[in-house]
Amino acid sequence: MPGLHSTDDSDFKIIRIQKLHQTFGAQVSGVDFSNPIPDETFDEILAAITKYGVLVFRSTALDDNGHVEFARRFGELDDIKTYIAAGRKNRLASDELFDVSNVNLDGTVVDPESPKGQANKGNGIFHVDSSFNPRRASYSLLLAHELPPRGTGGNTAFADTRRAFDDLPQTLKEDLLRNDYIVNHSLAQSQNLGAPDFFAKRNPSDYPMARHRLVQIHEPSGEMNLYTAAHAHHIEGIKTESSKELLDRLFEHATQPKYIFEVEWENVGDLVTWDNTCVMHRAIGGSFEGRYKRDVRRATVHDGSSQAWGLNEHTDKRYGFP
What is the reported pLDDT for 3? 45
Task: State the Cα–Cα distance between residues 122 and 189, nearest whole angstrom.
Answer: 9
For residue 316, being part of any structural domain is answered with no
DSSP 294-305: -EEEEEEEEP-S
For residue 138, being part of any structural domain is answered with yes
* β-strands 232-235, 223-226 pairing: unpaired
For residue 132, being part of any structural domain is answered with yes
**Closest by CA position to 136, among listed 321, 313, 307:** 307
What is the reported pLDDT for 322? 45
What is the reported pLDDT for 6? 42
C-alpha dihedral, 305 to 310 to 311 to 316, nearest 10°? -90
**Closest by CA position to 161, among listed 226, 85, 220:** 226
What is the reported pLDDT for 11? 78
Residues 6+ apart with CB under 8 A from 22: none
Task: State the Cα–Cα distance between residues 120 and 16, nearest whole angstrom.
Answer: 35
What is the reported pLDDT for 317? 87
What is the extent of the structural domain holding 121?
Answer: 5-302
E runs forming strands in the chain? 5-6, 16-19, 26-29, 54-57, 98-99, 137-146, 156-160, 182-185, 210-213, 215-218, 223-226, 232-235, 260-263, 271-275, 279-283, 295-302
- Identity of residue 284: I
Average pLDDT per run of 10 along the chain, which is 322 residues long? 47 95 98 96 98 98 98 97 88 96 97 96 97 97 98 98 98 98 97 97 94 98 97 98 98 98 98 98 98 98 98 90 53
Beta bridge partners of 210: 185
For residue 317, being part of any structural domain is answered with no
CATH number (domain holding residue 58):
3.60.130.10
Task: State the Cα–Cα distance between residues 37 and 73, nearest whole angstrom.
Answer: 10
For residue 313, being part of any structural domain is answered with no
Say how many residues make up the chain: 322
For residue 319, being part of any structural domain is answered with no
- Identity of residue 184: N
Evaluate the CA torsion angle 290, 261, 8, 163 in order and state its sign: negative
- From edge to edge, which strands make up the β-sheet containing 156-160? 260-263, 156-160, 279-283
For residue 309, being part of any structural domain is answered with no
Number of domains present in the structure of the chain: 1
What is the reported pLDDT for 86? 84
For residue 308, being part of any structural domain is answered with no
Q: What letter would DSSP give residue 33?
A: T
What region, left, alpha or beta, does residue 251 occupy, with left being phi > 0 and alpha being psi -120 to 50 degrees? alpha
176: Cα within 13 Å, side-chain hemisphere = 23
Question: What's the gap between Cα 273 and its chain centre?
Answer: 9
What is the reported pLDDT for 321? 61
Inter-residue contact 215 to 226 (CB < 8 Å) = yes
